Amino acid sequence: MRQDLVLEQMSEDDDRSQPSDLRSSSSSINKTRNCSGSISASGSSTSASSSSSASSIPLSIPVTEYQSPYPDQVLENVLENVLCFLTSRHDRNAASLVCKSWWRAEALTRSELFIGNCYAVSPVRAMGRFSRVRAVVLKGKPRFADFNLMPPDWGAHFTPWVSSMTRAYPWLEKVCLKRMSVSDNDLALLAKSFLGFKELMLVCCDGFGTSGLSFIASKCRQLRVLDLIESEVSDDEVDWISSFPEGESCLESLIFDCVECAINFEALEKLVARSPSLKKLRLNRYVSIVQLYRLMIRAPQLTHLGTGSFSPSEVMAQGDSEPDYVFAFATCKSLVCLSGFREITPDYLPAIYPVCANLTSLNFSYANITAEQLKPCHKKLPQTSNLLGLQAVAATCKELRELRVFPVEAQEDIEGPVSEVGLQAISEGCRKLQSILYFCQRMTNAAVIAMSENCPDLEVFRLCIMGRHRPDHVTGEPMDEGFGAIVRNCKKLTRLAVSGLLTDRAFSYIGKYGKLVRTLSVAFAGDSDMGLKYVLQGCPRLQKLEIRDSPFGDAALHSGLHHYYNMRFLWMSSCRLTPQGCQQIARAMPNLVVELIRYGSLENQEKLDDVETLYMYRSLEGPRDDVPEFVTILRADG
């Protein structure tokens, strides 16, 4: 049977020309070789990969006679068995370019399909190539869509993908979507089509509600993971928690901190009690601290916890005995990741100290506490009692790998406690930091340089100085040197977001030192086209570039022609581009989809000389067919 399958594939493929696959990372091998002649042991004169000989092979081998399998088939069998062990998609992309044989074998053994841009390839094409996929990861809108820079209904619909998957992948187990539009119908179809479905992750998605969740909970009997992360979930007033079937559940991860409606706590408590494998639990803000206690007691094996509101839901009358929260945290000995604190009552903060020493990730981003409120807690710390909030973190969380600090008031011009002092303290206390997202009103180069020197393992450095064009508030200098030190000293840096007053010099540093940077985020920065040119010409690994409100024009755009096919996308909004400049790009690069997105009315389109938003990405499919009216796709022949 197996032999037949392999032969069938070969005879179908032989008429196909070399697949025009997209090049992946620069490490992939770019030449194809006819390998069967050199590998086949018996030295047969005809090579199996050329069409003339292959067409003479019958579709099926008669079973009555034993025929020794011809060399290429053995090779394929061996390859398939070996390729199973290749998990990295970059390695697989490289392997698939060796020759047709390898291409085929790799396609048959790839079990996780990662599509970084849902418009880069069609469902039919992707599923036609990879027929045995168990897990699909799909990403849709660009990140700036999160900040209202893109009109709603731009696209990235899950529907065409899920419909194709029901036909192509009956054994599908895992779906992970990011920034896609998902409907309740999509979720219903998913739930009913895949009997072995195990994992659903929806990150920054929208378009569905609690009724969609209910389908998933009730129909996916093998469900291990249901993660809703920063998604918008509409309240259809459906009790989805109660939809989970009775009996022991194999749930390992239940994340719903973004769901903005109340849940049935009794049902949740029972669910947690019957989920012995549950490791990750992130509650929404409708769960009080008393309820949290009850859940923690039932699930001491948790490794990831989102605490919910972390305050009592109702007033405690005098004399009511409060649960021992310290005890609850102390029993969860495996906790490494803590978040939540949505409506924190600071009195309860000391409860988390038993686990602080083991934390690798701590997310206080919703905690509306001031340094003053944290002070009573500091007396319990072995350090001096004059520590401010971030300094307390720095002192206790030595193993911290990831930190995110958000502003309470998300506006400019507001004085806040978070500043360069906090960043300096973090850099000195958390030497193992790998990823930081830090919002502040103002910053100094010295603090950023200190971080670059103290935290050499940084891979993600995202600093948002909320005051636009803000220089170093001590020296008055631009923030060039700070970010320059980051790209120079943090040799593993792959993701960078810059802010504050920045000249072209900052970009020259990035181009010169940021050789591993894959994602770069720029806002209100730079002086001239040179800034963008430095980056496009200097950063060979650049894949995602998002720029807003910076003075980069057509010439700068043109300087990246050599690189755009290596990138996933380029976003430029409120820059200095013209439709003509963008048209030139579209003409020069037919496999790029060049979208001009406009907020205003369509009649003025010709009159305006500038481009509001350019969003361009490589694609095998050409212009998509679900274009809304506010998007114009520039044609190569336009």
Partner 1 sequence: MERLGNYESDLNLKATELRLGLPGRDEPEKQTTTTGVIIRSNKRASPEISQEYSRCNSNNSSVSDAANDDQDSAPPSKVQVVGWPPIRSYRKNTLQQKKNESDSAGMYVKVSMDGAPYLRKIDLKVYKCYPELLEALENMFKLTIGEYSEREGYNGSDYAPTYEDKDGDWMLVGDVPFDMFITSCKRLRIMKGSEARGLGSCV
Region 294-323 residues binding partner 1, contact defined as CB under 8 A: 314-315, 317-318
Toward partner 1, which CB reaches closer, 169 or 439? 439
| Span of 86-94, 124-132, 264-272, 402-410 interacting with partner 1 by CB under 8 A | 402-410
Among 42, 410, 603, 606, binds partner 1 (CB under 8 A): 410
Rounded to a whole number of angstroms, the minimum distance from the CB of residue 222 to partner 1 is: 30
Binding positions for partner 1, 422-441, rule CB under 8 A: 439
User: Is 266 a binder of partner 1 (CB under 8 A)?
Assistant: no
Which amino acid is residue 621, in one-letter code? E
Toward partner 1, which CB reaches closer, 224 or 548? 548
Among 184, 199, 252, 343, binds partner 1 (CB under 8 A): 343
Cα-to-chain-centroid distance, residue 218: 27
Toward partner 1, which CB reaches closer, 387 or 556? 556
Rounded to a whole number of angstroms, the minimum distance from the CB of residue 463 to partner 1 is: 12
Among 19, 417, 551, 622, binds partner 1 (CB under 8 A): 551
User: Is 603 a binder of partner 1 (CB under 8 A)?
Assistant: no
169-172 CB contacts, 8 Å cutoff, 24+ apart: 169/127, 169/133, 169/134, 169/136, 169/194, 170/194, 170/195, 171/132, 171/134, 171/196, 172/133, 172/134, 172/135, 172/136, 172/196, 172/197
User: Is 258 a binder of partner 1 (CB under 8 A)?
Assistant: yes
Burial label for 379, CB within 10 Å (0-12, 13-18, 19+), is exposed
Rounded to a whole number of angstroms, the minimum distance from the CB of residue 201 to partner 1 is: 17
Among 65, 413, 606, 637, binds partner 1 (CB under 8 A): 413
Instruction: Give one DSSP letter per residue of 330-390, joined into a string.
Output: HH-TT--EEE--TT--GGGGGGGHHHHTT-SEEE-TT----HHHHHHHHTTSSS-S---HH
Binding positions for partner 1, 130-169, rule CB under 8 A: 144, 146-149
Instruction: Please give the helix or strand (H or E) that residue 451 lies within, else none.
Output: helix 445-454
Binding positions for partner 1, 445-504, rule CB under 8 A: 453, 464, 466-471, 473, 476-478, 480-481, 484, 488-489, 501, 503-504
Among 337, 530, 567, 572, binds partner 1 (CB under 8 A): 530
Terminal alpha carbon distance of the chain: 51
Residues 505 and 30: their CA atoms lie apart, in Å, by: 34
Rounded to a whole number of angstroms, the minimum distance from the CB of residue 588 to partner 1 is: 16
Buried b (16+ CB within 10 A) or exposed e, 591-621: bbbbbbbbeeeeeeeeeeeebbbbbbbbbee
Q: How far is CA 166 from CA 159, 163, 194, 593, in A?
A: 11, 5, 7, 28
Instruction: Give one DSSP letter per residue of 157-225, joined into a string.
Output: BSHHHHHHHHHH-TT--EEEEES-B--HHHHHHHHHH-TT--EEEEES-BSEEHHHHHHHHHH-TT--E
- Matching residue, tokens 């978040």: 339
Binding positions for partner 1, 163-202, rule CB under 8 A: none
Rounded to a whole number of angstroms, the minimum distance from the CB of residue 612 to partner 1 is: 6
Among 35, 554, 582, 634, binds partner 1 (CB under 8 A): 554
Binding positions for partner 1, 344-373, rule CB under 8 A: 365-366, 368
User: Who contacts 99 (Cβ-Cβ below 8 Å, separation ≥6)?
Assistant: 32, 33, 34, 35, 36, 49
Among 608, 626, 628, 629, binds partner 1 (CB under 8 A): 608
Instruction: Please give the helix or strand (H or E) that residue 246 lies within, else none.
Output: none
Toward partner 1, which CB reaches closer, 170 or 600? 600
Instruction: Please give the helix or strand (H or E) that residue 536 lies within, else none.
Output: helix 529-538
Toward partner 1, which CB reaches closer, 92 or 576? 576
Toward partner 1, which CB reaches closer, 80 or 477? 477
Rounded to a whole number of angstroms, the minimum distance from the CB of residue 190 to partner 1 is: 23
Rounded to a whole number of angstroms, the minimum distance from the CB of residue 260 to partner 1 is: 7
| Span of 10-18, 262-270, 544-552, 617-625 interacting with partner 1 by CB under 8 A | 544-552
- Torsion 496-502-508-512 (CA) sign: negative
- The length of the chain, given as a count of residues: 638
Considering CB under 8 A, how many residues would be counted as binding partner 1?
A: 75
Q: How far is CA 271 from CA 248, 265, 328, 329, in A?
A: 8, 10, 19, 20
| Span of 73-81, 94-102, 122-130, 554-562 interacting with partner 1 by CB under 8 A | 554-562
Rounded to a whole number of angstroms, the minimum distance from the CB of residue 187 to partner 1 is: 20
Binding positions for partner 1, 67-126, rule CB under 8 A: none
Toward partner 1, which CB reaches closer, 378 or 505? 505
Binding positions for partner 1, 226-255, rule CB under 8 A: 230, 232
